[in-house]
Structure 1
């Protein structure tokens, strides 16, 4: 068992840190809102610290799951940041979905202090975090990944390394590109079914068993038909991720026309007041286009 720190206790980090403690690790947590860190310590029996630097002292591994590039920099750098308190030879595992640029920047700063870095964004949403069934996409030195993998297994169903630092983030970009294409096509298909006088749930159940099946269709079709979107991964966060993917593609000289188009559709969902709706809320755009209330 290892001495660990977990930085960031959002809907993902809170249960992920809990799985680490339940597995027998010595866990100290940090959260920008200290009251939430105190609550986690009460719930799970671990400890908390008021700054990242204090949370990571003496730790073998430091895991983080925060919001975006700026949030990651804020917990890693500076006098109270993680790098100021981590010991040489420790490994930082970042589960935040951020740009490959900031990942490489933070990893370089860590390397100067003799600290390993694994970028390890996750897929599976809040339910995956709560059930310890996340898919984790990793980049980093193979030795660092091998050392950190058994720790990540506490909350994952599959963990894979794809190459050097930044490779995990680029793989997560692929994941998001695939998700939004699927959700857009499902939105079109379900709305077509509704207007054709078919039972959309019955149609989705059948289609999900064939070549048109996907996780999104199997898990979101029913709530899409029922106009239920107060769950899952928020539109605001997906647009953040798509901006990362589209920027990376532009730097690579690639065009992602479907992804760019769906990103603009999500902007329309935000204008409907759906920034915090689940990403499956793309179907609301069709309802509004055809004069329905959303």
Structure 2
């Protein structure tokens, strides 16, 4: 069976790779920090490669689920003589969240080296990743996206082609603008209910019964109430996302006043609690 490469086994990447393995996809994987082989279920065809280069050159298709664009450049060995050999004749699927302009330039570099690039950021956090319920936003050649669709299916409940490279990431930023600002509003409402002495179980019930109910609220509201900041979607990632949104909004000459306030609150939460807590921890800087 032909191996698929998977680079980046972090909070999101590991459950995504597990879902591929459970569905019979043979994987060559690599992570910056070593993972124990038993992180994958017994019987899965998963091999741990010695380097990103070994993954890229040993697989016709490789998925990158990495923290940022510096990490992407590092594993692809971009701007070195090895880059072309790493991507020539290959399909590189970038599933992390990076600057759209960076992604456009990367797509051009990969194409010039004789490879194909599919921009495929996902909407969702660790729980949807574990359940294969992510939403995948696709940017790039439609034929490449269609060829990749069966591979993406075990990880994603929906695949939405948004246009050219850059467009899927802009779509992700638009969604995250709404999501990150909404979470801060939920934190404010929860703080209001607590300070007003309202029974928080009844507050939860009222939210669930009303028009604002969603899977996202169902997951995040109990974490805020219980101060359970075990990471699902990291607060540092939320802050990084808001910074990417602000940068793109500036390019578009677009005002984002709610997002700007939210970004500053996420930054304060990172400073107060560190980067390895959930984005719901933003409530702590309100309390």
Structure 2 equivalent of residue 84 of structure 1:
85
- Structure 1 residue 223, shift from structure 2 partner: 1.9
TM-score by length of 1: 0.89
Alpha-carbon separation, structure 2, partners of 1:28 and 1:101: 29
Q: Report matched runs for 1:108-187 at 5 Å.
A: 108-187=108-187
Q: Does the aligned pair in 2 maintain the 1:52–1:81 contact within 8 Å?
A: no
Counterpart-to-counterpart distance in 2, 1:83 and 1:209: 55
Question: Which residue is 1:36 aligned to?
Answer: 35
Distance 1:255 1:231 in 2: 30
CA distance in 1, matches of 2:26, 2:40: 12
In the alignment, the residues of structure 2 paired with residue 220 and residue 11 of structure 1 have an alpha-carbon distance, to the nearest angstrom, of 17
Quote the residue 2:199 is aligned against: 199
TM-score (normalizing by structure 2): 0.91
Distance 1:182 1:65 in 2: 25
Deviation at 1:209, TM superposition (A): 2.4
Between stretches 65-74 and 274-283, larger displacement belongs to: 274-283
Count matched residues: 285
Aligned with 2:15: secondary structure? Answer: helix
Judged with a 3 Å threshold, the aligned counterparts in structure 2 of structure 1 residues 137 and 81 are, in CA distance, closer, same or farther, namely farther
1:4/1:27 contact within 8 Å kept: yes
Q: Deviations over 1:137-173 (max 9, x none)?
A: 1111111111111100011111111000111111111
Do the aligned residues in 2 keep the contact of 1:4 with 1:56 (CA within 8 Å)?
Answer: no
Are residues 38 and 126 of structure 1, via their aligned partners in 2, closer, same or farther at CA, if it must alter by over 3 Å? same
Change (3 A) 1:206 1:262: same
Give unpaired runs (5+ residues) of structure 2.
Answer: none
Q: How much does 1:59 deviate? A: 2.2
Matched residue SS, 1:98:
coil
Inter-partner Cα distance in structure 1 for 2:227 and 2:40 = 36
Q: Secondary structure at the match of 2:35?
A: helix
* SS of residue paired to 1:276: coil
Question: Which runs of 5 or more residues in structure 1 are unaligned?
Answer: 288-294
How many angstroms apart in 2 are the aligned matches of 1:274 and 1:200?
A: 27
Give runs of aligned pairs for residues 232-243 of structure 1, distance below 5 A.
232-243=232-243
What is the rounded CA distance, in whole Å, between the counterparts of 1:109 and 1:229 in structure 2?
40
